[in-house]
Amino acid sequence: MPITMSPGQLSRSIGPLHINLDRQSYSLQMLNDFESSQENLRLRDFIDGLFRGAVVNPTEQRAAGHWSLRAAFRRSEYPDFVELTVDGRDELELARTVQAQMNAFVEQVQSGVYTNPDGETYNSVLHLGIGGSDLGPRLLHDVFSRLELPGVHGQLNIRFVANVDFHEMKAALASLNPKRTLVLIASKSFSTKETLHNAQHIFNWLDTAGPAYREKALLAATCKPGKAAEFGIPPARIFEFSETVGGRYSLWGPVSISIRLVHGNAVFDELLAGAACIDNHVLSTRSTDCVPILLALSDFYNLKVGIDSLLLSPYDSRLGMLIPYLQQLWMESLGKGVGIDGVPIPRSTCPILWGDVGTNGQHAFFQLMHQGRNASTVELVAVLKPNHSEAASHRILLSHALAQAEAFSVGRLNSPQEMADPTVNYKSCPGQRPVQMVFLDELTPYSLGALLSLWEHRTCALGAMQNINPFDQWGVELGKVIAEQIEPNLPPGENRAENPITAHLIDHFINRGR
Ligand code: F6P
Say what percent of the chain tops pLDDT 90.
91
The Cα 8–Cα 21 span in angstroms is 8
Structure confidence at residue 362 as a pLDDT band (50, 70, 90): very high
Q: Which of 15, 165, 148, 167 is nearest to 77 (CA)?
A: 15
Q: Yes or no: say if 138 and 289 are a contact pair by the CB < 8 Å rule.
A: no
Instruction: Examine the pLDDT at 118 and tell me if it is beyond 60.
Output: yes
What integer pLDDT is reported at residue 3 of this predicted model? 61
Res 514 pLDDT > 90: no
Instruction: Say whether both 234 and 322 belong to one domain.
Output: no
Residue nearest to atom 9 of ligand 1 (CA): 131
16 and 149 inside one domain: no
- Flag whether 59 is in a domain: no
Q: Residue 449 domain-assigned?
A: yes
What is the rounded average pLDDT of the residues 488-492? 94
pLDDT at 190: 98
363 assigned to active site: yes
Nearest-CA neighbor of 295 among 460, 484, 72, 174? Answer: 460
Interval 344-370 mean pLDDT: 96
* 116 and 262 together in one domain: yes
24-33, 299-308, 387-396: which range is least confident on average?
Answer: 24-33
What pLDDT sits at residue 154? Answer: 63
Same domain, 149 and 231: yes
Instruction: Looking at the structure, tell me whether residues 387 and 493 fall in a common domain.
Output: no
Final residue before a domain boundary, out of 233, 268, 303 = 268
Q: Which of 201, 236, 268 is the last residue of a domain?
A: 268
- For ligand 1, atom 8, name the residue with the nearest CA: 132
Give a yes or no: residue 79 inside a domain.
Answer: no
Residues 175 and 302 grouped into a single domain: no
**Cα–Cα distances in angstroms (integers) from residue 400 to residues 386, 429, 460, in the given order:** 15, 17, 31
SS3 18: strand
Instruction: Tell me the average pLDDT across 250-277.
Output: 97
C-alpha dist (Å) from residue 490 to 259, 493, 497, 502, 509:
38, 5, 9, 11, 8
Catalytic residue among 304, 385, 427, 480: 480
> Ligand 1: residues whose CB is within 6 Å?
130-133, 187-189, 192, 195, 247-248, 332, 473, 476
pLDDT interval class at 90 (50, 70, 90): very high
The pLDDT of residue 148: 85
Same domain, 175 and 321: no
For residues 377 and 359, membership in a common domain is answered with yes
How many Å lie between the centroid of ligand 1 and the Cα of residue 133?
Answer: 7
Is residue 370 in a domain?
Answer: yes
Domain that includes residue 371, residue range:
11-52+285-465
The ipTM, to two decimals, is 0.98
Whole-number Å distance between alpha carbons of 211 and 204 = 10
Total domain count for the chain?
Answer: 3
Task: Provide the percentage of residues in the chain whose pLDDT is more than 70.
Answer: 98
Non-local CB neighbours of 442 within 8 Å, separated by 6+ positions: 16, 383, 384, 385, 387
- Indicate the average pLDDT of the chain: 95
The strand pair at 218-222 and 238-240 is best described as parallel
Q: Do both 308 and 211 map to the same domain?
A: no
263: annotated active-site residue: no
Residue 483 in any domain: the answer is: yes
State pTM to two decimals.
Answer: 0.97
224 and 342 part of one domain? no
Give the mean pLDDT of 480-502: 95
Residue 153's pLDDT is what? 62
Whether residue 193 lies in the annotated active site: no
pLDDT computed for residue 513 by the predictor: 80
